[in-house]
Amino acid sequence: MSASSASAEKTERLLNLILALKSTRRPIPKEQLRRSLPAYAEAPSVEAFDRMFERDKDELREMGIPITTTVVDVLFDDEVGYRIDASETSLPEISFEPDEVAALALAARAWSTASISGTATAGLRKLRLAGVEIDESLAAGVEPRIRTPEPAFDPVRAALSARQPITFDYRKNDGSVSTRHVRPWALKLWHGRWYLTGHDVDRAAERAFRLGRVVGPVRKKGRAGSYEIPADHVPEVSLAAQAPEPQGSAVVRVRHGRGHVLRQAASRTQDLDHRWAEIEVPYERGRTERDIAALGSHAIAVSPPELVEGVRAALLRTVEINATHAVAAHQEGHADE
């Protein structure tokens, strides 16, 4: 049995146990639970059932679901039963203001073409069934969009929604570029940056890609609907596994109103004056240099020394590249005369 199948069976078993214990007015003896619930009835022995039932009870209690143990018959105090008091697990009534309802409708529409569209639609349907009036005319004329600086975002999101394989050129940490063939599984905003997680076809393994490192266009490479997204895929697991280990911390000065990506990762922020703030961020060699250099005159590397030197080298390379392009353009202009 696969891990995802075992997890699904366990979830179904716990839900059935919760429903059984919440729906009864009288405590249910353990033997009755074994006869009533299919997963317990299939236990190969009494000992196996007892172990499974005790684990399930402990897990529900760890989740904050109180299971009470009560004597079933006062004349026979050796038989106990179990139940869940519904009043202790019911949520209070939730109400929404008109502007909150409109915001929920807009959020659902923003993801109408993405993989989360089914979840968004189901959420609105549940609100309607609960008596919440969803007046989508409040959002008439408003077209919600998720704006990102990465050109790859829209084509990747379209491919994800269609479950269509893609290929793109990708810049690695060392600056080299390679072509990747990927089956998109999820888009995730993580530590202020957008990432794609999916199956890397060439490497036959799960991988994560930072959208800001995609070079050039994202190209379709296969039929829509040609693969399934694993039900147990958790994007954060892929991202954490591939995240570079920070080499200590870095101190950076940024102008107010600039450097939002760096600020999101900051562990310390101190305003120096009306123009500058000093922040402390995790130092990831190569990545931190590029983030600071991209801000140009709006950021200054303070420490450690290797960061300062790395930013200086990155800025010098930029100047050299621009100068080369300017000379080439000048020569081309003279050639046309």
Determine the pLDDT at residue 141.
45
Q: Is the pTM of this model over 0.85?
A: no
The answer to whether the beta carbons of residues 250 and 307 sit under 8 Å apart is yes
Tokens found for residue 68:
């009470």
Tokens found for residue 53:
């039932």
pLDDT digits (tens, 9 = 90+) for 155-191: 998 899 899 999 999 988 777 889 999 999 998 887 6
Q: How confident is the model at residue 145 (pLDDT cuts 50, 70, 90)?
A: very low
Q: Residues near 173 by Cβ (< 8 Å), separated by ≥ 6?
A: 244, 286, 287
Closest residue by Cα to residue 199 from 176, 222, 216: 222
In sequence order, which ranges of the chain are alpha helices (DSSP H)? 3-22, 30-36, 38-41, 46-62, 86-89, 98-110, 117-129, 153-162, 235-242, 260-264, 287-293, 305-336
Q: Residues near 114 by Cβ (< 8 Å), separated by ≥ 6?
A: 157, 160, 161, 187
Mean pLDDT of the chain: 78
For residues 313 and 213, what is the distance between their CA atoms, to the nearest angstrom? Answer: 20
Q: How confident is the model at residue 107 (pLDDT cuts 50, 70, 90)?
A: low
Give the burial string for 71-103 (b: 16+ CB within 10 Å, else e).
Answer: ebeeeeeeebbbbbeeeeeeeeeeeeeeeebbe
- DSSP states along 46-73: HHHHHHHHHHHHHHHHHTT---EEEEEE
For residues 34 and 16, what is the distance between their CA atoms, to the nearest angstrom? Answer: 12
Over the Cα atoms of the chain, what is R_g?
A: 28
Bigger pLDDT: 87 vs 71: 71
pLDDT at 146 over 60: no
Torsion sign over Cα 198, 201, 204, 208: negative
pLDDT digits (tens, 9 = 90+) for 185-241: 998 887 667 889 999 999 999 999 988 889 999 999 989 889 999 988 888 888 877
pLDDT digits (tens, 9 = 90+) for 79-97: 788 888 766 555 556 666 6
The DSSP 8-state label assigned to residue 86 in this structure reads H
pLDDT at 143 over 50: no
pLDDT at 324 over 50: yes
For residues 28 and 35, what is the distance between their CA atoms, to the nearest angstrom? Answer: 11
If you search the block for the tokens 């200590």, which residue do you land on?
Answer: 248
Question: Which domains, ranges and CATH numbers included, belong to the chain?
Answer: 3-89 (1.10.10), 98-139 (no CATH), 153-242 (2.30.30.520), 249-321 (no CATH)
Determine the pLDDT at residue 278.
94
Q: How confident is the model at residue 33 (pLDDT cuts 50, 70, 90)?
A: confident
